[in-house]
Amino acid sequence: MRRGLMGWNAEELPKAALDARIARLRAAMQREGFDAALFYTNLVQPSAVTWLTGFTPYWSDGMLLLPRDGAPVFATALSKRVANWIRTTDTLSEIVNTPKPGAGVGKRIADAGCKRVGVLNYDVLPAGLYDEIVGAAPAVDLADLGSVFTGVRRTIDDAERGLIGRADTLARTALDLIDADKAADAGEVAGLVEKHARLGGAEEAYIAVAPDLDADRRLIRVAGTRPLAGRFAVRASIAYKGAWVRRVRSFARDAAACGAYRAADAWLAGVASSVGPGVPLDKQLAERVRELPSARLRAVMAESCIGSYPLEAVADAPVAGGFLVLTVALSLDGFPWLGAAPAFVVD
């Protein structure tokens, strides 16, 4: 559950940026024949509503209705007492507190005479909310909004770039605090990284550790006492005002691996700053890994925020103006190495 800093700041996220996003989406909706759009939100699937309004729920759930014109309507089962808090992060929407948010937005779309309404992530919409919507708007044709929304969402604006940059600074500087020679316990390392990120204003921080990279490259949500081996990796997934990044860094105590890790870190930074559009990422990486002598590419994953998840795996070739988190696993002269970094796709 979210318990980090949450709030709206006009300098970081100008109202004009939100208006422009809504205008772009409405234009796309109109082209595809949608009279309105619905977005479910909770703390796991917050990102579409955050992108449109600035609001992220710390608890519970709700639905945002984006009509063809006028203010968005946010319906939630959170009590009226919480409406004042919602208002501090969502200055755009009309807030409707109701025990049945689906019925609330269903009545609105029925009263507005909507014929076709797009729903983001229509298939996974909670059945209870769906039943409420169709109960209140039985004649409305509901259809998936996914491709329309993703099409608008694949490029980012300056405001989002700024928020991502702030989240990344928190992640990077938190990982900088780890001293491989002194770090002995995974729980302490996780606490150190998380504390730094939260003291810096992180809205959320998920820290994961691979305590013994030679034994297993997979990362766990470690807590409590767990010894760190000579080579380990730490992942910091950090959110700032709804913008998420991940960074993974590998650490080694022996000189040989330490040198190889430094070279790989520098290589990843170079790759992340030069991801180009149009070419599948695995092809770009297969080419770039040749810059690292004796490195073998073991795995690549690209993630982005294109729907309601903060980050999700994406397979399509990068687009100019897009944002990715790039996660790479390498074998360096037999040393396992993991790295992840955010990347703004260059033209």
Smaller CB separation from another protein, 21 or 246? 246
Q: Does 324 bind another protein (CB under 8 A)?
A: no
Taking a C-beta distance cutoff of 8 angstroms, is the pair 93, 55 a contact?
yes
Q: How far is the CB of 6 from another protein (least distance, A)?
A: 4
Q: Does 298 bind another protein (CB under 8 A)?
A: no
Q: What is the dihedral of CA 29, 32, 36, 39, to 10 degrees?
A: -70
Q: Does 16 bind another protein (CB under 8 A)?
A: no
**How many chain residues are in contact with another protein, going by CB under 8 A?**
61
Span interacting with another protein, options 14-22, 55-63, 261-269, 286-294, rule CB under 8 A: 55-63
Q: What is the dihedral of CA 169, 170, 176, 180, to 10 degrees?
A: -140
Indicate which single residue of 32, 94, 216, 254 sits in contact with another protein (rule: CB under 8 A).
216
Q: Does 81 bind another protein (CB under 8 A)?
A: yes
| Three-state secondary structure of 208-225 | EEECCCCCCCCCECCCCC
Q: How far is the CB of 265 from another protein (least distance, A)?
A: 21
Q: Does 219 bind another protein (CB under 8 A)?
A: yes
Q: How far is the CB of 199 from another protein (least distance, A)?
A: 5
Indicate which single residue of 14, 146, 201, 259 sits in contact with another protein (rule: CB under 8 A).
201
Burial class of residue 9 in the structure, from the number of CB atoms within 10 Å of its CB (0-12 exposed, 13-18 middle, 19+ buried): exposed
DSSP lists the bridge partners of residue 142 as 117
Indicate which single residue of 180, 183, 208, 236 sits in contact with another protein (rule: CB under 8 A).
208
Q: Which residues contact 78 (CB under 8 A, 6 or more apart)?
A: 57, 59, 60, 62, 86, 97
Sign of CA dihedral 158, 197, 64, 83: negative
Q: Does 85 bind another protein (CB under 8 A)?
A: yes
Crossing angle between the packed helical segments 255-272 and 281-288, to the nearest 10 degrees: 130
Binding site for another protein (CB under 8 A): 1-7, 42-45, 58-61, 79-82, 84-85, 88, 122-130, 185, 187-188, 190-192, 194-195, 198-199, 201, 205-208, 216, 218-221, 223-225, 237, 301, 309-313
